[in-house]
Amino acid sequence: MNGIIVLNKPAGRTSFEAVRAVSRFFSKEKAGHSGTLDPMATGVLPVFLGRATKLIQYLPDTDKEYIADIAFGIKTDTGDREGKPVSSSDTRPNEKDWYASVQAHFGEQTQIPPMYSAIKKNGVPLYDMARQGKTIDREPRTIIVSDIETLDFASDKARIRVRCSAGTYIRTLAEDLASQCGCFAYLKGLERIYACGFSIKDAVTLEELEVAEDKEKFLIEPSALFTDYPSVELDENLARLFLNGFVFPVSRLGKEYETGLLINVYKENKYIGLGTITDTAELKKLWQAEEA
């Protein structure tokens, strides 16, 4: 059983724990996910099962979308509600300053990743250093906030919807928005509502998976992620070579493709994987010699 489950990850579970639960439902040893969600966060977590795990490395860096709840007045060491308070203030943003800050955070900008993140420094995750009480300099990263909207605003809290590039830390964005208003903030809640082309409307909960008699109905064909790529149908011999990792001249497909192109591969109208065109003159000569 190979494919993608768009999971609505529950709060309180790590992404790894959520993937492991899904893999147990489908009796799959191979399982992986795209785009880690913090334990406190909920929402879209695409889980790849079986051979589909090989496709994770080819996923395009599409935007992600979140609903974030921000609480003002306190700064935590993790940037969210699970951290320890490290600073507090009675200062709160007024409505004018808040909307000015939101407006200022549209578009391309730099962001310093939080210490409590999976980014590695000399092979060590930053969160391991943070738990030891260490703080090190982090290189700013370029992110893009393509859309940001205030859904609710009060003196002590705000709710925003954010569409942003991969690698954006919403915890840090919340702190930066408040900082420009002269106050502290932390992330009180976070829901990812869009990722990898999948919406929260496509997502299924662990509870729904557990009780479903036909769990396969929730499986999505991996080709759904690569709809912009061309497709090719292989005969039995070429499909066997493809599935066993062998290369063969693209000319054997009966059509020429640009070198380096990614292509959806089918056998008998069933999706079997994503291929890369790596045809070369040397490869053609090798096959011509084999076939002679």
- Does the structural domain 226-291 have CATH classification 3.40.50.850? no
Is residue 77 within 8 Å of residue 116, measured between CB atoms?
yes
**What is the distance of C-alpha 131 from the center of its chain?**
25
- Rounded to an integer, the average pLDDT of 89-93 is 95
Reported as a pLDDT band with limits 50, 70 and 90, residue 262 is confident
Is residue 116 within 8 Å of residue 83, measured between CB atoms?
yes
Active site residues: 38
pTM for this entry: 0.86
Task: Select the CATH number that applies to the domain covering 64-195 from these four: 3.30.2350.10, 3.60.21.70, 3.50.50.60, 3.40.47.10.
Answer: 3.30.2350.10
In the chain, where are the structural domains located?
A: 3-59+197-224, 64-195, 226-291
How confident is the model over 5-47, as pLDDT tens digits?
A: 999 999 999 999 999 999 999 987 889 998 889 999 999 999 9
Is residue 174 within 8 Å of residue 190, measured between CB atoms?
no
- Rounded to an integer, the average pLDDT of 192-200 is 94
How confident is the model over 137-149, as pLDDT tens digits?
A: 899 999 999 999 9
User: Looking at the domain that runs over 3-59+197-224, which CATH code has it been given?
Assistant: 3.30.2350.10
